[in-house]
Structure 1
Amino acid sequence: MNPRRNGPLALAFNALVITFMLAPLVVVCAVAFTPENTLSLPTTRWSLRWFEAVFHHPDFVQSFWNSLSLALASATLATVLAVPAGLAISRYSFAGRDLLNGLFLSPLVVPHLVLGVALLRLFGLVGGAGSFGWLVLAHALVITPYVMRLVLAALVGFDRSAEHAALSLGASHATVFRRITLPMILPGVSGGWLLAFINSFDEVTMSIFVTAPSTVTLPVRMYMYATESIDPLMAAVSALMVAVTAAAMVLLDRLYGLDRVLVGKA
């Protein structure tokens, strides 16, 4: 096939796909700047009134801090679990290795709706329903596979000669990990942490089932607000979430590279 002949068609198709995917986000962000009381695109002037309303809405402010704290804690916990697991799976052959790998990656194929119902039942049995700590565990369960994949990708082709040299010179395994291994895989670890943070911050399906009134996250708060009323306040909150997610994705691209992230998730 002639690439020059098919080039414009492929370019046009990609442009249509990108437009189709980005159009809803652009419309929502544009509506957020309307000065009107209804969802309408601004025509003659722009206004920040709905962004100001968001910061003066106590429920949304508290939910934002809940989401931020939850994402930080769950992403850190997921990283703490994924790094040693990734090292064990990539470097050693042992009985149950494939089972362990599948166990860590299984949340990727289980619908979050199913996980939410199952975790709600589990937390009810152990008396942890609505607890922030149990909510962190629930989110860590969902986002650990993202960290796991990037850690495994960072360990592919890892040259262990520096580790062996340090061990032969009397360094302990802990020192080797802290001074050699971790710095060499740090781009993958930090990229996995940031990707886990993004997914935890935006998670809504499972969170609906396991949150309590004191631990409502921002996506859940938005869902609850949308069931009662729809006004430009929702568009302003959505625009802020898009901005936060986009900033995190730019940082992730700087740290690790989005092309490598997509390969790691494949």
Structure 2
Amino acid sequence: MEVVGLLPEMLPGIVLVIGIMLFWNRIYNVIPLYNTLGIMILAYVVLFLPYTIQYVTSSFTQISGSLEAAARVFGGRPGYIFRRVTLPLVMKGVFAGWTMTFIIAFRELVAASLIAPPNTLVVSTYIVREFEQGSVSVGMAMAVLCVLFTTTALLILNGSIDRQKER
């Protein structure tokens, strides 16, 4: 099952995006998803879900089974054990996975340039468009803002993890 979860990471992003384009652009396709914002969301989920899964899986593997066993001994039901024991311990990994996935997706250009609907601007395609139109200074300014934004997100993530370690 782990291989299936990591399959999108093993293939280049352009191969996945072209596959998504071909699959959702067929004539007999029932759901008209191509050229909508939905196809872009689908492509981003397919491309970046494995990163989040890796973080969450590593968080789950670090939880000792004795914690859940102790909760069962004290009469905890499975839903209660998950909410009160497992979920608080896994949330750091979930938050780290979401943050890292956001940072990686923020700078992604291949999927955005291939399947973005018309008049939909993503940061990466905006920067490329500004460079192509000769507005190098605007493109560079936006690139610097992107670097500052992702660096700030990473620093917030590290700060929250450090605060959790101190508790």
- TM above 0.5: yes
Runs of at least 5 residues in structure 1 that lack an aligned partner in the other structure: 1-99, 258-266
Q: When the two structures are aligned, how many residues end up with a matched partner?
A: 158
CA contact (8 A) 1:203 1:219 kept: yes
Asked if 1:176 corresponds to 2:81, the answer is: yes
Displacement after TM superposition at 1:219 (Å): 0.6
Alignment RMSD: 1.8
Letter aligned with residue 110 of structure 1: L
- Higher relative contact order (Cα pairs below 8 Å, separated by 6+ residues): 1
Alignment correspondent of 2:3: 102
Distance (whole Å) between structure 2 residues aligned to residue 160 and residue 211 of structure 1: 45
Q: Percent identity between the aligned chains?
A: 24
Which is greater in Rg?
1
Asked if 1:116 corresponds to 2:17, the answer is: yes
Displacement after TM superposition at 1:166 (Å): 2.4
Runs of at least 5 residues in structure 2 that lack an aligned partner in the other structure: 163-167
Alignment correspondent of 1:194: 99
- Kindly provide the CA deviation profile for residues 80-104 of structure 1, in whole angstroms up to 9, marking residues without a partner as x: xxxxxxxxxxxxxxxxxxxx21111
CA contact (8 A) 2:67 2:85 kept: yes
Displacement after TM superposition at 1:171 (Å): 2.8
1:1-266 matches, within 5 Å, as 100-125=1-26, 126=29, 127-256=32-161
Residues 116 and 224 of structure 1, relative CA distance in 2, 3 Å threshold: farther
Distance (whole Å) between structure 2 residues aligned to residue 168 and residue 109 of structure 1: 42
Letter aligned with residue 106 of structure 2: F
- Kindly provide the CA deviation profile for residues 116-150 of structure 1, in whole angstroms up to 9, marking residues without a partner as x: 21111122124211222232121011111111111
- Kindly provide the CA deviation profile for residues 211-236 of structure 1, in whole angstroms up to 9, marking residues without a partner as x: 11243311112222322224211111
Distance (whole Å) between structure 2 residues aligned to residue 170 and residue 133 of structure 1: 44
Distance (whole Å) between structure 1 residues aligned to residue 36 and residue 161 of structure 2: 34
SS in 1 for 2:7: helix
Displacement after TM superposition at 1:256 (Å): 4.2
Letter aligned with residue 103 of structure 1: V
Displacement after TM superposition at 1:167 (Å): 2.7
